[in-house]
């Protein structure tokens, strides 16, 4: 059901990055998110997973190395221009605009679109996430955690991105809501989008992924296909608990 044609490839080459001059979180990270595949990026707390996503989305400039999207170096493109490259990013934690209504939250997502395309984009999102229709005039801040997460995902999908970065999409959600989010992640993958997923839930992430990378202390550790990881999962998790 790949209705979109080929999605872009993300290539992270030897990236070194940190938030302050004295600090280096990533010390030469490599990874490739293949077109139309779901690539999972796993690792213990503080290993730099989220930082990789921030660098890929331009929220943090790499000090060394580069990020390539379909053969183009985008390392210097600021975050707010990434939507125009067909990218979408779901930040960690809550990020709805709490006193804007659900509809207004989605409208902010249409900011980069042409005026004439905005209404159609909203309609498409409501069609894709029909549950949102019932909440459209409610302030997003009063929704439950799971509902807010759906609003955030829908808001990201307004521009129909072909590359999607997800930073712990189920953290802090009740199991039922988390299950819904994972189903949505699987759908994004089925639609042929390039998905890069950072997650603490190793089992769930590996079962969705086509390819898995692990990080530790800001460096690549292991990588392999889903099958390879499913066999070695116990060993991997045990090692992290020691780390």
Partner 1 sequence: MAVLGLTVGIGLWAEGLGLLSTLTNVFLFLLLTQAWNLLGGYAGYLNLAMAVFFGVGAYTTGILAHRGNWPPLLTAPLGGLVAVLWAAAVGVPSLRVRGPYFAVLTMILGFLAQVLAYNVPWTRGAMGIYVSPLPWDRRVVEQFFYFTYLGLALLVTGMAARIQSSRFGAALVAVREDEVAAGVLGVRTTWVKVAALLLGAFWAGVAGGLYTQRIGYIEPTGVFSLDISVDVVLMAMVGGAGTWQGPLLGVPLVMLVAELLRVGVVHLGLFGARIPVEFNRVVFGAALIFIALYAPQGLMGLIRPFRGRRLGV
Partner 2 sequence: MPLTLLTEAVVNGVLLGLVYALISVGLSLTLGVLGVVNMAHSAFVMLGSFFALELLLRLGAPPMLSVLAAAPLFFGVGMAVDRLLLRRTASTSEAMGLLVLFGLMLVLENGAILVWTTDTRVLPWQMGQMVLAMGGLRVSFGRLLAAGLALTMILVLDFLLRRTLLGKVVRAVGQNPDAAAVLGVDVTRISMVVVGAGVATAAMGGVAVAMMFPFAPQEHLRWLAWAFLLVIVGGLGRVRNTLVAGLLVGQLEALSGILLPFQYVYAVVYAFLAITLILRGRGLQAAQERTL
**Minimum distance from residue 18 beta carbon to partner 1 (Å):** 11
Degrees (nearest 5) of the Cα angle 61, 48, 39? 95
41's tokens = 């990026």
Distance CA 15, CA 4 (A): 30
Binding-site partner at residue 107 among partner 1, partner 2, none, CB < 5 to 8 Å by type: partner 2
91's tokens = 């930040």
- Is position 60 an interface residue for partner 1 (rule: CB under 8 A)? no
**Minimum distance from residue 20 beta carbon to partner 1 (Å):** 5
Number of other residues whose CB lies within 10 A of the CB of residue 40: 27
**Which residue, 22 or 227, is less far from partner 1 as judged by CB?**
22
Cα 2 from chain centroid (whole Å): 19
**Minimum distance from residue 178 beta carbon to partner 2 (Å):** 21
Binding-site partner at residue 149 among partner 1, partner 2, none, CB < 5 to 8 Å by type: none
Distance CA 44, CA 223 (A): 15
**Minimum distance from residue 72 beta carbon to partner 2 (Å):** 18
Where does this chain bind partner 2 (CB under 8 A)? 57, 59, 78-84, 89, 91, 95-100, 104-105, 107-112, 118, 141, 155-156, 159
DSSP run (H or E) holding 115: helix 115-128
Binding-site partner at residue 84 among partner 2, partner 1, none, CB < 5 to 8 Å by type: partner 2
CB of 140 within 8 A of CB of 97?
yes
**Minimum distance from residue 207 beta carbon to partner 1 (Å):** 40
CB of 102 within 8 A of CB of 151?
yes
229's tokens = 């990881």
Site for partner 1 in 18-57 (CB under 8 A): 20-22
**Minimum distance from residue 200 beta carbon to partner 1 (Å):** 26
**Which residue, 89 or 211, is less far from partner 2 as judged by CB?**
89
List the end-to-end C-alpha distance of the chain, in Å, as a whole number.
41
**Which residue, 20 or 114, is less far from partner 1 as judged by CB?**
20
Distance CA 51, CA 6 (A): 27
Residues contacting partner 1: total by CB under 8 A:
3
Binding-site partner at residue 22 among partner 1, partner 2, none, CB < 5 to 8 Å by type: partner 1
Chain positions contacting partner 1, by CB under 8 A:
20-22
């Amino acid at each position: 059901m790949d209705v979109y044609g080929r999605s872009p490839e993300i290539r992270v080459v030897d990236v070194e990055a940190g938030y302050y001059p004295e600090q280096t979180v990533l010390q030469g990270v490599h990874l490739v998110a293949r077109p139309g595949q779901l690539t999972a990026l796993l690792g213990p707390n503080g290993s730099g997973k989220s930082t990789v996503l921030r660098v890929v989305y331009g929220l943090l400039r790499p000090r060394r190395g580069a990020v390539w999207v379909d053969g183009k170096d985008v390392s210097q493109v600021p975050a707010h221009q990434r939507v125009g490259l067909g990218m979408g990013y779901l930040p960690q934690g809550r990020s709805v605009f709490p006193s804007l209504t659900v509809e207004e939250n989605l409208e902010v997502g249409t900011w980069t679109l042409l005026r004439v395309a905005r209404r159609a984009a909203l309609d498409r999102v409501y069609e894709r996430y029909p549950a949102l229709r019932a909440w459209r005039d409610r302030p997003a801040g009063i929704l439950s955690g799971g509902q807010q997460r759906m609003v955030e995902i829908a808001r990201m999908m307004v521009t129909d991105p072909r590359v999607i970065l997800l930073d712990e999409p189920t953290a802090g959600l009740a199991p039922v809501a988390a299950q819904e989010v994972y189903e949505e992640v699987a759908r994004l993958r089925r639609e042929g989008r390039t998905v890069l997923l950072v997650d603490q839930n190793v089992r769930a992430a590996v079962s969705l992924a086509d390819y898995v990378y692990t990080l530790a202390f800001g460096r690549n550790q292991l990588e392999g296909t889903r099958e390879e990881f499913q066999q070695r999962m116990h060993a991997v998790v045990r090692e992290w608990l020691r780390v």
